[in-house]
Amino acid sequence: MASLFQGQASPLDASRLVFSRSTAQRPVPLPGSSELWAQNCFEGMKVYRGFDGRLRLFRPDLNAKRLNMSAQRVALPGFDDAELVKLITALVKEDAPRWLPQDQTGRFLYVRPAIIGNGTQLGVQLPRVATLFVVMVPWPDFSMELPPNAKPRAVPGLRLLASQGETTRAWPGGFGYAKVGANYGTTFVAHGKALEQGFDQILWLFGTDGRVTEAGASNFFAIVKNEASGRAELLTASLDDNLILDGVTRRSVLELVRSRLSKELSVSETVFTMSELKKAWEQGRLLEAFVSGTAFFITPVCSINYEGCDLDVPQERQAVGASYASIIKGWLKDIMYGGEIHPWGLVVED
């Protein structure tokens, strides 16, 4: 099942677009700019059926803003953020009730807005035509189930493999911060090898000093007891060098921790290396690790393989729901499913 909007409107005007079901077939006589030049970008979102029976989007304004930024990184046209939110809302209103009826509380559909260059010119040129569409589909809950292809394991959580430099995901002056296809297909080989070795995702390191950036298609967090102060710190890579994606869930985690946990947990968006993390682990100062993202939501990490050594992340507090990751996940879930009425949850009336 898929629902999508597509149509012609420039500038983007939600009221002028056309709704079509999955039987729609796009005529593609020649490969488009997306298929040859990777001129594409997209978003990942969810629509939630709340415990109060209402449909909600989670901070769709941030996805719209990021899609706009990604589009411009690959020379696709920008648009009015608010029009995209209207378009997504209209699709949800039109079709979500069919696949996510009111009694399916606590469930969600996945929403993927995308823009692709589809001019048919074969030369390497600035594109002439682009298509914006939004697809909505059912999606497995990766934060509850094992990820695809994962082997059964005794300890819950993701097994990460720290990258060894053979493949580098992103680079200064590159596009690691943009949600563009060019960041994905180019990691499939390394990701496939990691799966074969029994890992779930790659933890992408950058540079000769092994700076921790992000994990697979999600942002990475570690909670470490500061060596000097003894205080717990939430560590995550900084956005400053444009290497990592500015995740909506990442941003929400940071905002919640800053506003609700500041007395016990300080936030450090910073450059930190895998050897620093290993040292903290050796000294018993690595308290937690988790990833965040729309697909993976908040998923704990159970181990990080670094230079052949498995750093097992403590699971005790996770197991009894007392970890910071569990607490933050609970808050986010409440906001998404209407357990807490919060401005981040945009209600779509159906």
Q: Where do contacts with a second copy occur on this chain (CB under 8 A)?
A: 2, 22-40, 42, 72-75, 110, 112, 114, 116-117, 122-127, 133, 135, 137, 139, 148, 165-168, 171-175, 180-186, 188-189, 191-192, 195, 216-217, 295
Q: Do 32 and 119 meet the contact criterion of CB atoms below 8 Å apart?
A: yes
Residue 313, both tokens: 């992340």
Q: Do residues 235 and 281 lie in contact, with contact meaning Cβ atoms separated by under 8 Å?
A: no
Residue (31 or 106) nearer to a second copy, CB: 31
Q: Which is nearer to a second copy, 127 or 157 (CB)?
A: 127
Omega prior to 11 cis, within 30 of 0: yes
Closest to a second copy by CB, 1 or 155? 1
The residue (of 107 and 342) whose beta carbon lies closer to a second copy is 107
* CB of 35 or CB of 246, closer to a second copy: 35
Min CB(99)–a second copy separation in Å: 14
Alpha-helix residue ranges (DSSP H) falling in the chain: 33-37, 60-73, 81-99, 188-196, 248-260, 274-282, 316-319, 324-336
- Kindly state the DSSP code that residue 249 receives in the 8-state scheme: H
The overall longest dimension of the chain from CA atoms, in Å, is 64
CB of residue 112 to a second copy, shortest distance in Å: 6
Ranges assigned E (strand) in 95-129:
107-117
Closer to a second copy by CB, 116 or 271: give it: 116
- For residue 132, the minimal CB distance to a second copy (Å) is 12
Query: Minimum CB separation from a second copy for residue 314, in Å?
Result: 29
Q: How far apart are CA 170 and CA 182, in angstroms?
A: 10
Closest approach of Cβ 25 to a second copy, in Å? 4
- For residues 123 and 117, is the Cβ–Cβ distance under 8 A? no
> Min. distance of Cβ 343 from a second copy in angstroms?
29
User: DSSP 3-state assignment of 252?
Assistant: helix
